[in-house]
Chains A and B, each alone.
Chain A
């Protein structure tokens, strides 16, 4: 059983950020597996980080994630979205499509954007613990946090679009 729904807030944001009728053309991807699907289309700007967080928190909450898993999924999503805004589009106007779904054993959140091809994992750097904080390169930390926060982090270039998917396992129902 699959049914789509969009939160009111997400819908508003999406409506405001794209010309009417472009919805189908953008081709919000189909959800992997079965389960609930949500979609959110937002302009690539820091103001969009809040709706992304709200979206992910809502999804994870419905999936019954533990508080800690929920926090980490949101952290990963926030870092990924920040990365797309700051490094993907580099401050140029653009759009991010976020969708997500709940499968029996996991929750997934997927980001799609049309920024130049950019595998976020390329920029990832584990913190250099031996280097004093004040001398460390700060870049790549966000992706590192995202990567270590979730169970799976996938990136694909699909027909020129960047597609990153975060997956968090759901607690096993006994």
Chain B
């Protein structure tokens, strides 16, 4: 159950690509990456979740952190989340602040 997170920043879009399982033991890495993305001055944070197999509340925490850190003018999108992952995001009500976009 490996976890991998990659950050790309080009122009005004920061893209974080997630692979594997995001739980309390891997959330720290994601959190750090979100911090870097937030510091980059992007207007958009795109989280590619096509290969994210699992998301727990520990991962959601970092999404709140992203929202707090990036300010109101920044759009955050989670792209290609699987149904259970998208369900978790919706259940927590995060879809009010974060766009769930099909891949």
List A residues at the B interface (Cβ < 8 Å). Answer: 46-47, 49-50, 53-54, 68, 71-72, 74-75, 78-79, 82, 85-86, 127-129, 132-134, 136, 138, 141-142, 144-145, 148
Contacts and interface: CB of A to CB of B under 8 A. Distances in A.
Interface in B23-66: 23-25, 54, 56-58, 60-61, 63-64
Interface residues of B, number: 25
Interface of B: 1, 21, 23-25, 54, 56-58, 60-61, 63-64, 67-68, 83-84, 88, 91-94, 96-98
A71 B56 CA distance: 11
A74 B22 CA distance: 13
A145 B56 contact: yes
B67 A142 contact: no
By Cβ-Cβ distance, the 8 closest A-B pairs, closest first, are A142-B57, A133-B97, A127-B93, A46-B25, A129-B93, A71-B84, A82-B24, A134-B68
Contacts of B56: 75, 78-79, 82, 142, 145
Contacts of B54: 53, 71, 74-75, 78
